[in-house]
Every structure is written in C-alpha cells, then in structure tokens.
Structure 1
Amino acid sequence: MNERTAPYPFIARGASAELFDMGGGQVLKLFRDSVSDEMVAREANASVHAAACGVPTAAAVGRQGRDGRRGIIYPRLEGGTLMDWIRRNPMRAGWALNQMGKIHAAMHRSDGGNLRSLKQVLATDIAYGPAPESLQRAAIAYLEALPDSDALTHGDFHLGNVMMTPQGMMVIDWSKAAAGHPAADAVRSEMLMRFGIGPADWVTNLWRDWAARRLRRSHAAASAVSVRDIDAWRPVVALAWLRARDAPGRTPAFMRYLDGALKQARLPVTR
C-alpha cells in the first residue's frame, strides 16, 4: 500500500509501519507484513499500560485491519519528533535532553505489568546473535547473575520516539517494551543515541556522543541507577544488539564500545 491507495490521508512512514489520518483526532498505524502479530499486540498493550502508569503517551484505543494489514488506532498527537524540534531549536537541545531523561526515569518507577522479561529478551538475542558460542555462554551466565527488576522499560527510547506536542513531550512506539532493570533500558538508549541509524559524519558523531552523555546524566540524576549499574548492564545489552544490527554507519565505533564493555566485565572480546 502507498499514499495513493491508502484508506485515509497519509501522514508518515517508518521502518515497520505507516501512519494515516482517520479524522476525528485519531490515526491508524498500519504495520508491514514483516512485523509479527506478537509485536503488534505488545505495542498496543504496552501503550495502554504505560498511559495507566502515568507515562505521557498516546494509549491505543482499538485495533483495526485494512486490506489485509493489521493496525492500531491511536489518538492523534500534534507536533513532530523531538529530533525535528531540536533541529529547529538547537540552542535548547540540552534542556530537551534533560526533560527526556526525567521522563525515562519516571517511566522506570512504574512496574512492567504483564510485559515480557527483558532478561529473557537479551538472552535470546545473545543466543541467536553472531557472537562466538563461547562468548554467548559466558555472557548469558553473566546476565543471569545480574540483579533483576520488573520496571517498565521502553526498549527503543530515542529522539525519534519522543514527540514534542502542545501538551509537552509524549513517548511513542512501545513495540520493544519489556519488564526489566532500568539500567538496561538506559544503556539501550545510550546505544541508540550514539550508534542508531542516521548520519555518521564526524560532526554528527560528536553531537550524538554529547547527546547520549547528556541523556544518561539526566536520567541518572532523576533515578536510582548508578554508574556501576550502567557499567554492569552495558556488555550484555550491547552484545544482544548485534543480532539485529545492520546499519554500517558507526560499526567500527560500536565494536570498540562493545569490546570495551566486555573487557570491563572480564568477558571475552569479539575479536
């Protein structure tokens, strides 16, 4: 389906779905065939749970299929992503990242309800990733020994999944949500900010590294997550990310990041 054959006016598209204006203050998010039924259901359920916990977000209001495609109905959020807002307001980037970190920390003070276990997600991604078997076994044993938690974690918390609206910042896209340790989710955001898909020129990389540090500090200031917690979770979160990593932009930098984390945890490095 494309804009010309869409059931409603087209708004935007992402890697996994397209968004259409249903009118009446609602939008329809139609998923691509490659997205699993489990992920669609998780996104809808997690958005409702997060909203009930007080997280600023748009909670799913229903499910609707269209032309064989699965969809979720959401309230329409006016505005754009926080990334777009920062591009227009670069001098306020620090403030925006501070607010984003506070939202992330507040999210983690809620429980994950019936969401899947983040530890199990990480273990599965490590086991089915490209790392050598000896490293996989050592990393999973290390993961199992880490303290567990049932905090609400987003799993994809970055500048593209926070909207700047007239009501303030709103978190979107709960498809990777889980119940787990806040430090693991903070590490995931650090990685997304530094190594996610996007420009990889040296100036942008410097900005991304700065933004990741700013977000991490603002989250730490508003939470009980310590530097030690972050260091402890970094090797397994980074190793798990290898399973789906296909963006070449910052691969050398990411591999240095991963190997540094593995060394600190006294785990075998990848090379």
Structure 2
Amino acid sequence: MIGKLIGKGRTGEIYDWEEGKVIKLFFHSVKESFVEQEVVLGKWLQSMGLMVPQVYGSVEMDGRSGIVYEKISGVSMTEKLLDPNGNVTESAKELAKLHQNIHRVDARNLPAFTAKLQAIIKRTRLLDYRSKEQILSYLAKLPDANVLCHGDFHTDNVLVEQEKKVVIDWETACKGNPLSDVARTVMIYKYAILPTEMPVAAREKIEELRTVLCEEYIKEYSRLTGTKEEEMKMWLLPLMAARLEEELSKEEKQLLLKEIEYHLENISDENLKTI
C-alpha cells in the first residue's frame, strides 16, 4: 500500500512503501529505458561497496513505472548543518571524504560527462554561437578520465542515519574527471540562489555557512587527493554554461551569465590554467 509523499525530484516522486522501504514513481514522461538504467545503476553502485540505498526492484502502479528502494530514516547533511550543534568544518571534511571515496571507482562503462556537457552547451539559447564555440573548444582541452562522478553531489544528497552516511540521487552519474565533479559541487555552493519559499531563518543560516563549507570542502579534498584548487576551477566555465539549461531562477541565470562572460574574457592558451 502506497504511503505519504515524502519527496519530489526531476523525474519522479518518492512515497512511503512497505516497512523499511520507499517507492520512487516516475512521471509518465520518463521512458521505461531510463527506469531500467536506474535499476541497473543502483545495483552496480551497491556492488562497488558504496553507501547507497539498496535497490529491491522495479514495479508498475497506476500506469507509472517505479523502483522500490531501501528507506533511509536519517536527515540530510544540510539539516544536520542547520542544527545548533552542527559543525560546518567537520561536515565539509566528511563531504570531501565521501566524494573522494566515490572517485575511487572505475566507471568506464557509464556515459561520459564531457559528452553530456557538450550536448547541453550546444542546445542552450542563452549563449550566442561564438560563445558556445569558445566554451566547447576550451572544454575539449580539459583532461578527461573514467572515474565515477555523481554529477550533483552536495549536502542535500547525503542522508545521515546515526553514524551511517548514504549518498542518494544518482540519476546524473557518469564517468569523467573527478575534478569536474568537485567543480560542480563548488559551483552550486558559490552561485546557487536559494528558493524564496525556504524559511527565512534557514536561508540566513545557509548563506552564513556555505562559503566556509565550500572553502573547507575544497581544502580537505585537495589534501586527501593531492590535487590543486586551480585544477578544479578549470572546469567551472563549461559547467556554468551547461547549468543554464537547468530549471533555475532568472536571478541565478543572470549571475551565471555574468560569470561566464568574465571567464570568456580571460580564455587564452597562456592562461588556460589560471581562469
């Protein structure tokens, strides 16, 4: 018996299901092949030893495809941060460790992140042809890899249940350079405009914490992996261009367009690594 609605995302809705389980019901517009791929991906992630919700299988209900998942009873890492006892530095370090662990996995059979970025940038109407060509040319010069990338890694997608931390929302998973995945996380914390419907106190708290969270996350990831912040920042331009195609507020898109314009003005072979 289906229970109450507990979440809603880009492709479907999450409902309580049987004891210890939830069901994700996909919107009618989502193709069956996409649902099948999510089941396969979820089981593969489990087999890699990652802390992800267990996949029990696919179902159909009222003409909608669905997947039954393990229910994680904890709260998001964002909610933990908003707790008066939350520690932003420790949370940032935990986030970096979780991300590094994801990036240990070889994912050469998944779709390529750079190919996704290229396709999205080509179809955006918010950039002119010349700007898109510059960005695509720049993207082609960035170093690629075959490691597992989450594609949307941030504190809302990490659930904390006692000492266990479970990463959710893997529908954007792909293979690529781990620093592109890190850069997307950084981009979200630097440029995301918080929703107006969010309670004022929560908005103010997140605005207060997110700069420190981002800085400490970068510092810890760099320490753990031996990478440099400058190498990560090289990915921001194509990521910002692709993000223009997401469902964002007008204010956030304007902010991204200004940042893209600034980055484009600084592109050259000489300063490729410094923008």
What band does the TM-score fall into relative to the shorter chain? 0.7 to 0.9
Matches within 5 A, 1:51-70: 51-70=46-65
Identify which range, 84-93 or 160-169, moves more after superposition.
84-93
Q: CA deviation at 1:89?
A: 4.2
**TM-aligned CA distance change 1:195 to 1:153, over 3 Å:** same
Determine if the alignment matches structure 1 residue 139 to structure 2 residue 135: yes
Q: What secondary structure, in the 3-state scheme, does the structure 1 residue paired with 2:60 have?
A: coil
Q: CA deviation at 1:180?
A: 0.5
146, 150, 164: which is aligned to 1:168? 164
Determine if the alignment matches structure 1 residue 150 to structure 2 residue 151: no
User: 1:199-249 CA distances to partner (integer Å, 9 max, x unpaired)?
Assistant: 476774343233222222222222243223212211111111112242235
CA distance in 1, matches of 2:140, 2:54: 33
**TM-aligned CA distance change 1:136 to 1:53, over 3 Å:** same
Matches within 5 A, 1:74-89: 74-89=69-84
- Give the partner amino acid of 2:136: I
Matches within 5 A, 1:47-126: 47-126=42-121
CA distance in 2, matches of 1:102, 1:207: 19
C-alpha RMSD over aligned residues: 2.4
Task: Between the two structures, name the one with larger relative contact order (CA 8 Å, sep ≥ 6).
Answer: 1
Q: What secondary structure, in the 3-state scheme, does the structure 1 residue paired with 2:68 have?
A: strand
CA distance in 2, matches of 1:101, 1:27: 28
Contact (CA 8 Å) 2:2, 2:17: kept in 1 or not? yes
**TM-aligned CA distance change 1:226 to 1:52, over 3 Å:** farther
Match in the other structure for 1:9: 3
**TM-aligned CA distance change 1:206 to 1:231, over 3 Å:** same
**TM-aligned CA distance change 1:134 to 1:187, over 3 Å:** same
Matches within 5 A, 1:28-47: 28-47=23-42
Identify which range, 178-187 or 82-91, moves more after superposition.
82-91
- Give the partner amino acid of 1:258: I
**TM-aligned CA distance change 1:194 to 1:158, over 3 Å:** same
21, 28, 31: which is aligned to 1:26? 21
CA distance in 1, matches of 2:49, 2:263: 34
Match in the other structure for 2:272: none
> Identity of counterpart residues, as a percentage?
23
Q: CA deviation at 1:61?
A: 2.3
- Give the partner amino acid of 1:231: K
User: 1:175-199 CA distances to partner (integer Å, 9 max, x unpaired)?
Assistant: 1110001111111111222333624
- The count of aligned residue pairs is 261
Contact (CA 8 Å) 1:55, 1:103: kept in 2 or not? no
Gapped runs of 5+ residues in structure 1? 1-6
CA distance in 2, matches of 1:255, 1:81: 30
CA distance in 2, matches of 1:265, 1:60: 44
Match in the other structure for 2:216: 214
- Give the partner amino acid of 1:75: E
Identify which range, 175-184 or 202-211, moves more after superposition.
202-211
Q: CA deviation at 1:252?
A: 4.3
Q: What secondary structure, in the 3-state scheme, does the structure 2 residue paired with 1:23 have?
A: coil
CA distance in 2, matches of 1:42, 1:82: 27
- Give the partner amino acid of 2:41: A
- Give the partner amino acid of 1:57: V
**TM-aligned CA distance change 1:245 to 1:191, over 3 Å:** farther
